[in-house]
Amino acid sequence: MDYKRANRAFLYMILSTLGLVVVLSLWYLNGGPVLSIFANNLLSESVILIPAVAAILYSGEKLSVLIPFHKIKLSSVFLTVVYVFTLFPMVAFVNSISMLFVENTVTAISDDVLAMPMWVMIFAIGILGPFVEEIVFRGVILQSYQRTGRIVGSIVLSSVMFGMMHLNFNQFAYGTVMGVMLALLVEATGTVLTSFIAHALFNSVEVIMMFTSNNTLDEATEYLDDMGTVWEFGYMVYLGVAAIIFTVLAFFIVRMISANEGRKEFFVNIPRCRKQGYKLITIPLVIAMAISLIYMVFYTTLT
């Protein structure tokens, strides 16, 4: 599938997601029962997956080409686990920066999450969500983009699209950064399996922390608010330093993974990959991004 079809598929994903928002809003306004967060998550992932699958079927491509999924060495799995834990400081820092301007979206839905059994949320947020999102963004979209030879551009743009798909500025910020790091895993191993493992582990840890540390986190947030601007600034500096150190370590680890999987030469030469002259930006993509930004501004104003 070429990049033009990938961009059209993304536009359909955005439109489908907003269509779901409208339908659910009308459902609630007319007295319909509130859906559980599990049902909401299932519907949200469906409207992302269906346009991507439809685009694949229409293109006539093999799934194995657009969604590379092959086994990796056990040592690479171990390194991937270590890699995930080096990403937490960076995500926490970016999340804190975004929270200077917008609310924490995950915290806003924490009551709904905690109302469900933990294993249900681990399945929905820790397994199902990452499975669909890795298939779509690190599979269909990233692989379609890479045919232009613009590997760096493919990584960055597919990650921005991944962030925008969340339709709020908070998750857009750290989702984009996370998307880049997950895409690097795919480049290092040649398979979406590693990015799925990393994404699933990251989300599952987040869910477990919500269930086991919710009160502690709330108290810590209130404590920091009471300490004032100076302490908040100090905390941000601490997070920033930790983010830099652990992100540098993450790059070393992903490079080790590429060497372990026999892809080091390709991985280190990504910035020098030969480009074929195609541009990744098309009108459907611009429309999709404009719609996303307008909705995010509206959502931020509303909340």
pLDDT of residue 214: 55
pLDDT digits (tens, 9 = 90+) for 94-131: 998 998 888 888 877 888 888 899 999 999 999 999 99
Highest mean pLDDT among 21-30, 223-232, 252-261: 252-261
Phi-psi region for residue 119, left (φ > 0), alpha (ψ -120 to 50) or beta? alpha
Q: What is the DSSP letter of 69?
A: -
Helix (H, G, I), strand (E, B) or coil at 251: helix
Span 264-289, mean pLDDT? 86
pLDDT of residue 7: 96
Res. 217: pLDDT tops 60: no
**Count of beta carbons in the 10 Å neighbourhood of residue 141:** 28
pLDDT of residue 227: 55
Of residues 183, 91, 123, 144, the one with CA closest to residue 285 = 144
Cα(140)–Cα(279) distance, integer angstroms? 17
Contacting residues for 241 by C-beta, under 8 A, at least 6 apart:
none
Q: Categorize the per-residue pLDDT at 148 as very low, low, confident or very high, splitting at 50, 70 and 90.
A: confident
Burial class (CB in 10 A: 0-12, 13-18, 19+), 167: buried
Q: Categorize the per-residue pLDDT at 13 as very low, low, confident or very high, splitting at 50, 70 and 90.
A: very high
Of residues 35, 45, 85, the one with CA closest to residue 53 = 45
